[in-house]
Amino acid sequence: MTSPGVHSSRPLPALTLETAVPNTMGGLLEQLALALDRQGIRYCQWKGHWSAHRWSRGYGDVDLLVDHGAIAGFHAVAEQLGFKLALPAGARQIPSVEHYLGFDPLVPRLLHLQVRYRLLLGEYWTRIYRIPVEHQILAESVRGQLFLVPSPTHAFLIFVLRMMLRQVGRPLLSARARWLSGIRVPLASLEAAGNAAELARLLDQHLSPVDLTFFERCVRTLDGQSDRLDRLVLPWQLHLKLRAHMRRPPVRSMITAVIHKLLPRQLATGMADPRMRLSGGGLVVALIGGDASGKSTCSRELQSWLASECPTMRADLGNPPMSLLTLLVGAALKLQRGGGRWLRRSTRSGSFLELLRELCTARDRYRLYQRVRRFAAAGGIALCERYPVRREEVHVAPGVPKLLHPHAPGFVRVVRQAEASYCSRILAPDVSFVLKLDPELATLRTPQKPPEDVRERSRIIWETDWSATGAHLVDASQPLPDVLRQLKTAIWSMC
């Protein structure tokens, strides 16, 4: 920005708002930009112009400022394009800010929209300042390569205010602060593209506590050209000028931020998960299939796809984690098989310990099922392998009947009833996917396993009529990317 009141001897960098955005951005975000234009919704991408190249890989937020009067219209557009409203944890919620997650088959991760209906500067754990110039910014937005963006003067204003207010409480005591080097190129680019007269008029009419002279001092501070006193005082002076528009962070928000900044990542996540819950609630997903159908591979890939934004867990109900009781029974069974006669108590078809181990396994499976259901009830997405469904009993059938003799003692029948009780309490999942694979192809994919066993287990899945179950059938002989694309599309439509 050139004017008698603003001096700069720096060479002008080549970076601009327009060239910072990739030339081609197909897929879901392009559809969003076109839909907003068609509906006449006033909006702009108010920040993040120099990180937009990351969107093609699913990294980084898309920060949109939307006209407060167009909230209903924006909701309709987002819903039509398949975006899902996501809710941050209570301590992370900010009024007038909404989050949306979107699925684009061309992008390996979920896309994240952060939508603001007021121009708010700050994070959930810091002071948040309302800058009441939304109407002017939206009215004068210009076309970028993908979304509308603020005019150069407005972008310069937003950038300087954001960077200065970040320093309230941690003043710029050193002109060599590491983060300063990262902002000098965009700062110089925006300053060169702005218009001093337009900026002065905007400040005078809509942000009068901040005049042009004070604003220029802030620019020099960010550029490392001011003295130590200005670096110490100016952020607080700006805070005082805008404090009438300030929202203080709740105590719980600051506690949450401290937890995530000071504690190890896994411990911090366990205490306060930073990921968002979809407003539609959680989901229990069952992946059903025989050997070599790709259940575990698909489960891992789906978790990787979802886990960055949504709470996600994997659970193998065919092999649940063993409780202490199960471990003790298993140890006793090993002693018995090793020759401990005092442990041998036959039930003609199986020892007492074998029956007890089957019962313990059923109990462990039910306990894991409870974890899965509670996780989904709290808004998470649970991906389950070998989920106990009647048509897949070859994988997770009750074990006691296999060991039971027609004339077994009464206590054995009690064990059978207890196991059946655990099995009957496991309800159907929210959605099931059957990965169907030809039995002969399954034997070719798993040469290390006995072919007859693989063929038999795969044959049951292959020949079963699943039409009455509501399960989604997926051809597991397809290439893995095609299988995953079908699974992701179906799961996202049900979230």
Both tokens assigned to 3: 């004017």
pLDDT recorded at residue 427 = 92
**Phi, then psi, of 120 in degrees rounded to 5:** -110, 130
Q: Kindly write down the DSSP assignment for every residue of 153-167, as one continuous string.
A: HHHHHHHHHHHHHTT
pLDDT tens sequence across 333-385: 888 776 555 444 544 445 778 888 889 999 999 999 999 999 999 999 999 99
- 445: pLDDT strictly greater than 70: yes
Question: In this structure, are strands 472-475 and 431-436 parallel, antiparallel, or unpaired?
Answer: parallel
CB atoms within 10 A of CB 121: 22
Q: Identify the sign of the CA torsion 99, 101, 102, 106.
A: positive
CATH number of 281-494: 3.40.50.300
pLDDT of residue 413: 76
pLDDT-wise least confident of 5-14, 32-41, 146-155, 230-239: 5-14
Say which range, 104-108, 146-150, 227-231, has the weakest mean pLDDT. Answer: 227-231
- Which of 302, 298, 279 lies closest to 289 in space, CA to CA? 298
Calculated CA dihedral for residues 352, 357, 358, 361, nearest 10 degrees: 160
User: What is the structure's pLDDT at 125?
Assistant: 87
- Secondary structure element (H or E) that encloses residue 130, with its range: strand 128-130
So what's the pLDDT on residue 348? 45
Mean pLDDT on 83-94 = 89
pLDDT, average across residues 248-277: 77
How far is the C-alpha of 56 from the C-alpha of 76, rounded, in Å? 24
How is the beta sheet containing 43-45 ordered, strand by strand? 43-45, 61-66, 111-116, 97-102, 84-87, 277-278
Give pLDDT, residue 460.
87
- Using the predicted structure, report yes or no on whether residue 225 has a pLDDT greater than 50: yes
Each domain of the chain, given as residue ranges in start order, spans 17-247, 281-494
Say yes or no to pLDDT of 5 above 50.
no
Burial of 261 (0-12, 13-18, 19+ CB in 10 A): exposed
Average pLDDT over the chain, rounded to whole?
Answer: 85
